[in-house]
């Protein structure tokens, strides 16, 4: 597995731009499966997680209200999970390099969001695990599970995964969640392969004439929605994830006051 030397703050939190993260994603994919860089295809996240990142994955009820979608464990120990039968939290022994995903993401209509959550947790491992290299049991800036648990982990909530970018990034936690989310998007939808898929789909739809048009109208909004659905199917991601990637790469733009999108 490839490693990186990030520019970071004094506390170890990486300082990364979108361009930096795109480069990291490109390097990882080139090292793992270089054909994915050019050929539009759905990443086998479980295989990538196990065989490349060296991580284990398990599914649990992570909270009583499904507010926690995923968790990445950096050190051996215990983490709290929810026992729906007893209706209470209980300690779960876990090993370093374990990803926990909420059982709700196994539901048929949540599988794609589960794939993104899984990749989000892998991204935390790539970007943030070295913060714990010196003292794995230290109290950290993360949402710490409790000193008595002797486990450092990151819990990722519904507001952290597939973020629309509306959340203001203030704390180190905010920035690390944004970094993991952006890297997950870039790994699942590599920029060159995604761009090719967009061009192919626009050609298939027969709407090339709208591809470079700026501005908002209902006709363009319809095709922007259809393009998002096509990319979601192509890369096996949620519609939300596809829309965010299209927006981040400049293929669609949103006008918040009208809640509309148009192909750019």
Annotate 131-189 with DSSP letters as a single string: GGSS-TTS--SS----GGGT--EEEEETTTTT--S-S---SHHHHHHHHHHHHHHHHHS
What confidence tier does 210 reach under pLDDT thresholds 50, 70, 90?
low
Residue 122 CA: distances (Å) to CA of 45, 103, 255, 261: 9, 18, 32, 30
What one-character-per-residue DSSP string does the chain give? -------B-TTS-B---HHHHHHHHHHHHHHH-GGGGTS-----HHHIIIIIS--EEEEE---SSS-EEEEEE-SSEEEEEEETTTTEEEEEEE-TTEEEEEGGGGSGGGHHHHHHHHHHHHHHHHHHGGGGSS-TTS--SS----GGGT--EEEEETTTTT--S-S---SHHHHHHHHHHHHHHHHHS-HHHHHHHHHHHHHHHT-HHHHT--S--HHHHHHHHHHHHHHHHHHT--HHHHHHHHHHTTSEEEETTTTEEEE-
Residues 26-53: what's their mean pLDDT? 97
Can you state the angle between helices 218-235 and 239-248, rounded to 10 degrees? Answer: 110
Q: Is the pLDDT of residue 257 over 50?
A: no
At 260 the pLDDT is 42
Calculate what percentage of the chain has a pLDDT beyond 90: 65
User: Which distant-in-sequence residues (6+ apart) come within 8 Å of 18 by Cβ?
Assistant: 182, 248
Distance in angstroms (rounded) separating the CA atoms of residues 33 and 150: 36
Q: What pLDDT does 209 receive?
A: 63
- Computed over its alpha carbons, how large is the radius of gyration of the chain? 19
Q: Please give the angle made by the CA atoms of 100, 14 and 53, to the nearest 5 degrees.
A: 40
**pLDDT above 70 coverage of the chain, percent:** 82
The rounded distance, in Å, linking the Cα atoms of 167 and 155 is: 17
Residue 57 has pLDDT above 50, yes or no: yes
> What is the per-residue pLDDT for 135?
53
Of 262 and 203, which is predicted with more confidence? Answer: 203
């Amino acid at each position: 597995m490839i490693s990186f030397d990030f520019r970071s703050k004094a506390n170890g939190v990486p300082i990364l731009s979108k361009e930096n993260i795109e480069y990291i994603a490109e390097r990882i994919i080139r090292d793992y499966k270089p054909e994915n860089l050019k050929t539009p295809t759905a990443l086998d996240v479980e295989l990538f997680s196990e065989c490349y990142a060296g991580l284990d994955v398990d599914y649990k009820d992570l909270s009583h209200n499904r507010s926690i979608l995923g968790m990445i464990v950096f050190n051996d120990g215990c983490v709290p999970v929810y026992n729906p039968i007893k209706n209470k939290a209980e300690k779960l022994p876990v090993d370093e390099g374990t990803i926990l995903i909420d059982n709700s993401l196994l539901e048929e209509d949540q599988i794609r969001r589960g794939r993104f959550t899984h990749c989000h947790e892998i991204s935390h491992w790539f970007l943030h695990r070295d913060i714990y290299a010196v003292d794995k049991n230290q109290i950290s800036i993360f949402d710490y599970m409790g000193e008595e648990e002797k486990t450092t982990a990151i819990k990722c909530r519904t507001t952290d995964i597939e973020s629309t970018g509306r959340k203001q990034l203030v704390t180190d936690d905010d920035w690390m969640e944004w970094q993991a989310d952006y890297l997950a998007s870039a790994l699942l939808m590599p920029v060159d392969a995604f761009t090719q898929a967009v061009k192919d789909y626009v050609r298939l739809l027969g709407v090339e004439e709208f591809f470079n048009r700026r501005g908002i109208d209902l006709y363009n909004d319809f095709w922007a929605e259809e393009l998002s659905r096509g990319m979601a199917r192509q890369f096996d991601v949620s519609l939300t994830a596809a829309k965010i990637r299209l927006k981040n790469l400049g293929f669609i733009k949103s006008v918040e006051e009208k809640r509309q999108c148009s192909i750019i």
